[in-house]
Each structure stands twice: as C-alpha cells, then as structure tokens.
Amino acid sequence: MANALPKPVQRLINEFARLPGIGPKSAARLTFYLLRVGDEQALELADALRDLVERTRFCSVCFNITEADPCELCSDPNRDDHLLCVVEEPLDVLAIERSRAFHGRYHVLHGAISPVEGVGPEDLRIEELLARVAQNRLQEIILATNPTLEGESTALYLQRRLGDAVPKLTRLARGLPVGGDLEYTDEITLGRALEGRQEL
Amino acid sequence: MTRERTFRSEAIVLKRSDFGEADRLLTLFSREQGKLKAIAKGARKPQSRKTGHVELFMRSNFLFAKGHDLDIITQVEMVEAYAALRADLVRTTYASYAVELLDRFTVEHDKHLGLYQLLADALGWFAADEEMLLPARYYELRLLSLTGFQPQLFTCVSCAETIAEQDQFFSAELGGVLCPKCQTADRRAQPITAVALKVLRFLQTRPYDAVKQLHLRRPVHTELEHIMHTYLTHILERNLKSVDFLHRLRQEARP
C-alpha cells in the first residue's frame, strides 16, 4: 500500500514520535493540529526549536543551561560565592530557586551515579566540580541530589572525593512533605524525620 | 472465566524508570508471579503515598490492578528497606549486581519462589555482612543452579571422570571443570587452583550459614571472582554494568 501521507507530514509525525511520552497517535494529532492552526504558530514553533538549539549552551562555570556564558546565576554579584549547591539536573536549579531559600551558586552534575544503569562518576560533571572547589574558597557545599538510591550514591561518592576540601559539607534534610500524612509515610523517611527533628 | 481485577504480592524492586508526568515504571520480582512490570502512579511526587515504598531494592507488599498493558500499583507497604544498602557505595553496587543478574536470568511472569527467596536473602547479606565477596559468589552459584546453569564441579565435563584434588581447568563454554587430560577440549579454558575449586564446591553444596564461616585469602577471592565473572558473561553474552562499575570503584580506591 502506498503511503497516503505527503513526505513532510510523515517526517514531522516521525520526529514527534521520537519525543518521550509521545506515541504514534499523539504524534499524528500534533502534526495535523499544526497543519490546521495556520502558518504563524507552526513557524513560531520552528523558530523556538531553532533558538533552543542555536542559542543555548552549558554555562562553563556551573553547567546549567544558559544563553549567555557564564549564566545569569553565576554572574549575579548579589549571590554568595562561599555557598555551593550541587544538583543533578538543570530543572533542580529551578526548583531550588523557586524556594527562594538559597542565595549561593550552583553546580549541575547532569545525572546521578547509578550502578544499575552503568552511569559512573566520569559520566557526570564531577571532575569540573572538584576543580571548582579547588579554585574557590568555599565555606559550604550543599549536596542537593535526589533522595533516591542514585542520588544517595552520588552524595556518598562526592563525600568521599571532596573529603576535607571544604569546611562544611551538608546534605538536604529528608523528612515529611508539607501536606503529608504520617500514616502513609515509609519507615525510612519517618526515621530520618525523627533524627532531624528540631527544637521549637 | 472471570479474571481477578486485582492481585497482591510481595515483591522486590529491581529497576525503575520515570514514566509520564510524575509516574514511575517499576520492574519487580514478585513472590507470586515472578518478574513483572507495573506503574506506580504519581510516585515521583513527594506527597505520594507510594514514593518511599517503591525505591530500588525495597521489599514491599503490593496490591496491583490489572491493566491493559501494564499493571497498576494501587497500594504498597514496605516490608524491608535494607537501609544499610543505601548508606555505602560498595554495598549499593553489590545489591545492584544481585538485582542485575536476576533481571538478566529471568523472563517476565515466570514464578520462582526459590529465586525470590535467594534475592531477598542476598540483599540482607549485602546489607549486613562485613564482607561482600563470599555472599556474592554464593549468590552467583545458587542463582546459576536455580536457573539451570549450575556449573559441573565434581566430574570432568569432557570425560566424566571424577575430579581429583589438584589444579584443574574451568571451561565457561562447556560449563564446568576439565581435568588436565581433557584440557584441550576447550582451548580457552582457564586454570583453576585446587583451593579455588574446593571453595566453589563448598559454596555450591552448603548452606549460607556454613559458607559465612569461611575465611579466604585475597588471591583465592580474586581467582574465584574472575572465574565466576567469565562464566556469567559467557552465558549472558554481554558485560554486566554493575561489575564494570565495581571495577571502577576499586581502581579509584587504589592510592
């Protein structure tokens, strides 16, 4: 059977279908939506994609995604140079920024150590972190990797490598989420919440 | 015939990956149904009631709802967290190794109570024992026996003569020990010392409580590890990620 779809349409469907979470049906739906919605919106999407590729890069200091190098967070003179927060992904920087509770600098590892998946330290921006620590007078490094097995493994590894290179090495507290329920909390989280309890 | 729409089982989390907006796709090894894949909806949100119960290596009680493709986890409660596995990178790596091996040697929906018990025990050993090498070798040998790849250690794989207590050869291809006379049956067979062979036989036939009492010298451990890894990669026809990782850790630990 001959393919009833013109080549450009099929090509876009194929491209959409490569995105995570999008199956062939959704890909076709998105493509036909763009065909119908008019040239302007479709071209804007194309422009946005081109911009994304051409105008973003990794910040040479913190390895966050940025337009200007060094990134805004690294070049902001109002942030504390003595505090460094290490995160797994660029989206984690956004999450911490939203909390408005941290005013230091960041370092993005781009992943976490995973023996199961075969992701080792050399696959992450760890050497860059060590170099950064050696060059700067830091007072504290906050390991803000996820409280998952991979995140914990990464924190343990970093603890080993950073050793005495910094006066204070901390890990984000683990405990109960706001709006959570004790009854449904697992023992590990509850245990950690008890350990980290605070005097009122 | 009506099909039950829900089922429950104790299971251990082998693998997990992100799925959709905030869900996790888990690969579990369950007591009742063997290996299976299921979705934990919303498990990436901190407020989720499932989050802390579906982490890697955890043994939990699950309630599943039958789905079209994938089953959906409706309730879960942790039975054993093996917390010590999370506090030490070497222990984490050995637990990863145990889980990776089991994953490679099993197919979905093939119930195997013996394997389930072995994995649960092994995670306990890796969490609690001081020494990782012996439990690792014991786990490998038991896993091989339970999955039908038990190496032949008491008679020569070529001539079937009883193996004498002397240095021999181990053939990954033929699946066991070759006596010196039959050494040429597999030119890639590697030498195995009488001591190492004795230990392998002991591990294959004795319960873990007895095995735990053994104290081996470093060269014997190295030899055993090499032989077992060669045999396992021969059967699986590929390298194990957690083994590569372990080697890297060891290399870095060297001054």
Domain hosting residue A181, numbered range? 79-194
Residues A115 and A161 grouped into a single domain: yes
Q: How many domains does chain B have?
A: 2
Find the CATH number of the domain harbouring B63: 2.40.50.140
- Contact B241/A117, CB-based, under 8 Å? yes
- Can you give the residue range of the structural domain that contains B78? 6-82
Smallest CA–CA distance, residue A100 to chain B, in Å, is: 19
The radius of gyration of chain A's CA atoms, rounded to the nearest angstrom, is: 22
Q: Is pLDDT larger for residue A118 or for residue B207?
A: B207
In terms of domains, do B135 and B248 share one?
yes
Q: Considering the entire predicted model, what is its pTM?
A: 0.86
Residues of A in contact with B97 (CB under 8 A): 115
Tell me, yes or no, whether B201 lies in a domain.
yes
Quote the CA–CA distance of B15 and B106 in Å, as a whole number: 14
Q: Which of B12, B92, B93, B247 to mutate to test the interface with A (most CBs of A within 10 A)?
A: B92
Q: Are residues A41 and A117 in the same domain?
A: no
Task: Report if residue B116 sits inside a domain.
Answer: no
Is residue B230 a part of any domain in this protein?
A: yes
Do A98 and A187 reside in the same domain of the chain?
yes
How large is the angle between the packed helices B218-236 and B89-105, nearest 10 degrees? Answer: 40
| CATH (domain of A120) | 3.40.1360.10
Check whether residue A49 and residue A92 sit in a common domain.
no
SS3 category, A138: coil
Q: For the beta carbon of residue A20, count every other beta carbon within 10 angstroms.
A: 7
Q: Tell me, what's the pLDDT at B215? A: 93
Q: Do residues B213 and B146 both lie within one domain? A: yes
Output b/e per residue, B40-78; b: 16+ Cβ within 10 A.
bbbbbeeebbbbbbbbbbbbbebebeeeeeebbbebbeb
User: Is B104 within a domain?
Assistant: no
Please tell me the distance in Å from A76's CA to the nearest CA on chain B: 31
Instruction: State whether B177 and B244 are in the same domain.
Output: yes
Classified as helix, coil or strand, B196 is helix
Interface contact B248, partner A, CB < 8 A: yes
Looking at the structure, tell me whether residues A83 and A51 fall in a common domain. Answer: no
**Do A83 and A182 belong to one domain?**
yes
Cβ-defined contact of B47 to A186 (cutoff 8 Å): no
Do A152 and A99 lie in one domain? The reply is: yes
Establish if A113 belongs to a structural domain: yes
Question: Is the residue at B246 inside a domain?
Answer: yes
Mark whether B162 and B76 lie in a shared domain.
no
Q: Do B78 and B135 share a domain, yes or no?
A: no
Residues A50 and A102 reside in one and the same domain: no
Same domain, A87 and A186: yes
Closest CA to B92 of A157, A170, A161, A121: A157
Would you say residue B115 lies in a domain? no
A96 and A51 in one domain? Answer: no
Within a domain: A64:
no
Number of domains chain A is built from = 2
Say how many CB pairs under 8 Å bridge A and B.
70
Contact: A118, B245; criterion CB under 8 Å: yes
CB-CB under 8 Å, A180 with B57? no
pLDDT value at residue A186:
85
Residue A179 lies in a domain: yes
Flag if A149 and B49 touch (Cβ within 8 Å): no
Residue B139 domain-assigned (yes or no):
yes
Comparing A110-124, A173-187, B32-46, B50-64, the range with the smallest average pLDDT is A173-187
Last residue in a domain, options B82, B106, B121: B82
CATH number for the domain that contains residue A26 = 1.10.8.420
Tens of pLDDT, residue by residue over B93-127, are: 999 999 999 999 999 999 999 999 999 999 999 99
Q: What is the pLDDT of residues A60-90, one digit of tens each?
A: 999 999 999 899 999 999 999 999 999 999 9
Answer yes or no: is B30 within a domain.
yes
Q: What is the pLDDT of residues B22-38, one digit of tens each?
A: 899 999 999 999 999 99
**Each residue of B146-174: pLDDT tens digit?**
999 999 999 999 999 898 888 899 999 99
Extract the tokens encoding B5.
Answer: 């729409």
Amino acid at B71: D
Q: Same domain for A43 and A95?
A: no
- A115 CB neighbours in chain B (<8 A) are 92-93, 96-97, 241-242, 245-246
Question: Please, what is the Cα angle at B201 between B197 and B205, to 5 degrees?
Answer: 170
